[in-house]
Amino acid sequence: MGILDNTVALVTGGGRGIGKAIVVALAEAGSKVAFTYKSSAAPAEELVKDLAVRGLVARAYQADAVSTTNAAEVVNAVVKEFGHLDILVNNAGITKDGLLMRMSEDDWNAVLDNNLNSVFNYTKAACRTMMSQRSGKIINITSIVGITGNAGQANYAASKAGIIGFTKSIAKELGSRNIAVNAVAPGYVETDMTDKLSDDQKKALADFIPLKRTAQAHEIASVVKFLASQDANYITGQVICVDGGMTM
């Protein structure tokens, strides 16, 4: 028996990286998992097949997180196929880093649209179903940069700080309907980008972290899985930092 048996989850940006790890963790815990991807169809379909071989249920939906219409269509399709929606993980996001003086308006808007507006789009689309069920878990993936700020990431930090404010506000709005809304703030996570760093660069990065290492994607996914479970029923409006102690 899994801790998420008989639940249905939707993960945005679930085709790679942290999102993929979340999809796998929720599916392994017993949830039927739908996830969105923007353009890379092959990896998304491969993930669905890999999980199916293990007897786990996943569905991939191509969608643009910026589109309010796409968000409503995806949520409606998930509810139509599975009958309900219990867990929403807002994970989709991008970066377009640069110093403010050189940052274009397009780069500012693209990051806010993909990272923050997408959370609005999917939460609004999903909350009607959850309200009628009088139950649900919404987990938003923010970042420690939304708490600490970071030079060269004004757009990214603003979007992630916005997610924190949104999380706390919606937790207050939906609490009376038995819907918990929380955020997870990862620190530095091992990705394809960090794999390209030299050993010296990796060591310098680790030196900033009290635990002296970066996170694995599955360590972020484990916290999401906990927040999605019944064990976290009395937790709402919180930001859980999974950062090796960086924001202490």
Active site positions, annotated: 156
62, containing H or E segment: strand 58-62
Strands (E), the chain: 8-11, 32-37, 58-62, 87-90, 136-141, 179-186, 239-242
* Burial letters 148-159, b for 16+ CB under 10 A, else e: eeeeebbbbbbb
Quote helix, strand, coil % in the chain, to nearest 5.
50, 15, 35
Report the SS3 class of residue 7.
Answer: coil
- Closest Cα to residue 10, out of 87, 66, 67? 87
The label of the residue with tokens 């030079």 reads: 151
- Closest Cα to residue 44, out of 10, 78, 74, 15? 15
